[in-house]
Structure 1
């Protein structure tokens, strides 16, 4: 794992920007160009209506779902790290202010992932055939836990429907 340094309130690995260097759409990729929101970016301005990027093929490849994963117009994904969430945000597939029920905003979860790169997020994508097309986050997970992660996870997950902090972190907002 890369050396982690604190920078403007968010940890980001040193060396080449891992978000930019692993972005789909680079040489040899078969999906569209992907913009990136780095961990050090400021929170975007809130708009009255968020216009989601409708390139669902690229979005679905980013989160690892395909047509057979959709049930009722949604498909679940897991294992999205700060790089992937940064790509989803930067490309307009996620509204930084959106909240899945009692979950923190997408932006708050992204910043948490930036501070704790060992944590991944889970969520779902909504089919482009539906009027509520979007990408939402509804959980975070880490196979291990340390005192700093536990402290921050207890704050982030305070309103989670399900939460575990024994030996690992697992929070889900329903």
Structure 2
């Protein structure tokens, strides 16, 4: 049992893992914040050796929305590259035709990125050098999408024949009328990317 409130949830509700009330339990836990957070991630099924709680975040009531709460070093990629490539490009790729074993993309939708994450093709904890994590990029696009602003992702895929097989997201952009709130949220989220475009009808950030 991994409960921040130290309750016997199995006896009371039959639920141990993925408890829908964990956030509320954390706010009222008798444990110190760090230990309560550790139990939260154990409850989510994260292995103890993969949990890396940021000490500074233990003071943050909104820590569940904060990045880097755990290091998902045990992530295992789905090597069904044909399915991966169909999601991204619409067709399987003939990798012998691509020198270096990499191909870029510039039109990945939020829905397709969600597929890549959920099917194990994209590591949500992965970054492109100093970029936000893939999970953070998706979550930002999700929040903005709920407001009517649809962001598109850029990145590249690596051949299944290479040892560093992966999907990397190195940029995102939005085309459409940009509200002041959207521009502010975008600037705050991307911080200092290697390339930044902010125009009345276009936003883009890219990391080298």
Q: Which has the higher helix share?
A: 2
| Residue in structure 2 matched with residue 49 of structure 1 by the alignment | 74
Is residue 84 from structure 1 mapped to residue 112 from structure 2 by the alignment? yes
Q: Deviations over 1:78-130 (max 9, x none)?
A: 22122111100000001111001111000000001101231111111000010
3-state secondary structure, aligned to 1:49: coil
Give 1:58's match in structure 2, choosing from 83, 86, 93. 83
Whole-angstrom CA distance in 1 between matches of 2:71 and 2:173: 27
Q: How many residues align?
A: 133
The 5 Å alignment of 1:7-156 reads 46-64=71-89, 66-67=93-94, 70-117=98-145, 118-144=150-176, 145-156=178-189
Higher relative contact order (CA 8 A, sep 6+): 1
Q: What's the Cα RMSD here? A: 2.0
Give TM-score, length-normalised by structure 1: 0.70
Which stretches in structure 2 are left out of the alignment for 5+ residues? 1-64
Q: CA deviation at 1:71?
A: 3.4
Which stretches in structure 1 are left out of the alignment for 5+ residues? 1-41
| Residue in structure 2 matched with residue 15 of structure 1 by the alignment | none
| Residue in structure 1 matched with residue 56 of structure 2 by the alignment | none
Structure of greater Rg: 2
Q: Which has the higher strand share?
A: 1
Whole-angstrom CA distance in 2 between matches of 1:162 and 1:72: 24
Kindly tell me: are residues 134 and 142 of structure 1, through their superposed partners in 2, closer, same or farther at Cα, counting changes over 3 Å? same
Whole-angstrom CA distance in 2 between matches of 1:138 and 1:86: 16
